[in-house]
């Protein structure tokens, strides 16, 4: 009787192990399929990103070629019919006038001072910054215009020549 019990216990033990082995194989197969799908998704995302990068590089390259062709055409047209050895000078960068400079400086200063004043008086730094910026821009534009006019007058006085009668 004891032997029969040992045989039944061993057969149940071996039977249970075989079933879990089958489940483990199924789980491993599912895990492998999931990991392959995840790798494929990453590869597809990388391919799409590379396509986007390639198209942007193609656009940049075509813009560079177009700019180069325009430059070559400009140089060719500027040198035709001109026997002197002068070359085309690049355009000078436009300078900001004094009124604009004053408005920018005034707006920045006014915004900072308005924010500080707004916090001190009623705790609303946003409103104070906006009001201060507007007032500062107006004052700065006026001051910049005045400085610009003074510079223009000074330059006009320095460059006037007396013409003979």
If you write DSSP's letter for every residue of 35-93 in order, what string do you get?
HHHHHHHHHHHHHHHHHHHHHHHHHHHHHHHHHHHHHHHHHHHHHTT--S---PPPPPP
- What's the pLDDT band for 109 if we cut at 50, 70, 90? confident
Q: Do 5 and 64 fall within a single domain? A: yes
φ, ψ (nearest 5 deg) of residue 124: -115, 90
Domain count, the chain: 2
Which whole number is the average pLDDT over 37-45? 85
59 and 128 fall within a common domain: no
Classify residue 4: in a domain, yes or no.
yes
| Distance between first and last Cα of the chain | 147
Q: Does residue 61 sit in the same domain as residue 6?
A: yes
Note whether 72 and 103 are same-domain residues: no
Report the pLDDT value the prediction gives residue 80, as an integer from 0 to 100: 56
CA distance 75 to 82: 12
pLDDT, tens digit, for every residue of 54-75? 888 888 888 888 887 777 777 6
Q: Is 164 helix (H, G, I), strand (E, B) or coil?
A: coil
Both 115 and 56 in one domain: the answer is no
- In a shared domain, residues 37 and 3: yes
Could you tell me which residues come within 8 angstroms of residue 62 by beta carbon, excluding any fewer than 6 positions away?
Answer: none
The predicted model gives 19-46 an average pLDDT of: 79
Is 165 contained in some domain? Answer: no
Q: Which domain holds residue 136?
A: 98-157
């Amino acid at each position: 009787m004891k032997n029969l019990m040992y045989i039944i216990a061993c057969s149940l033990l071996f039977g249970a192990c075989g079933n879990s082995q089958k489940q483990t194989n199924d789980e491993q197969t599912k895990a492998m399929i999931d990991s392959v799908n995840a790798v494929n998704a990453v590869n597809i995302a990388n391919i799409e990103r590379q396509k986007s990068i390639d198209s942007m590089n193609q656009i940049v390259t075509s813009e560079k070629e177009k700019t180069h062709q325009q430059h070559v055409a400009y140089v060719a047209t500027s040198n035709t019919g001109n026997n002197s050895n002068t070359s085309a000078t690049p355009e000078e960068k436009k300078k900001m006038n004094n009124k604009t400079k004053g408005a920018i400086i005034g707006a920045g200063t006014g915004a900072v001072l308005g924010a500080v004043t707004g916090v001190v008086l009623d705790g609303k730094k946003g409103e104070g910054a906006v009001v201060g910026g507007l007032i500062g821009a107006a004052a700065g534009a006026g001051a910049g215009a005045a400085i610009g006019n003074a510079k223009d007058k000074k330059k006009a006085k320095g460059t006037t020549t007396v013409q003979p009668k």
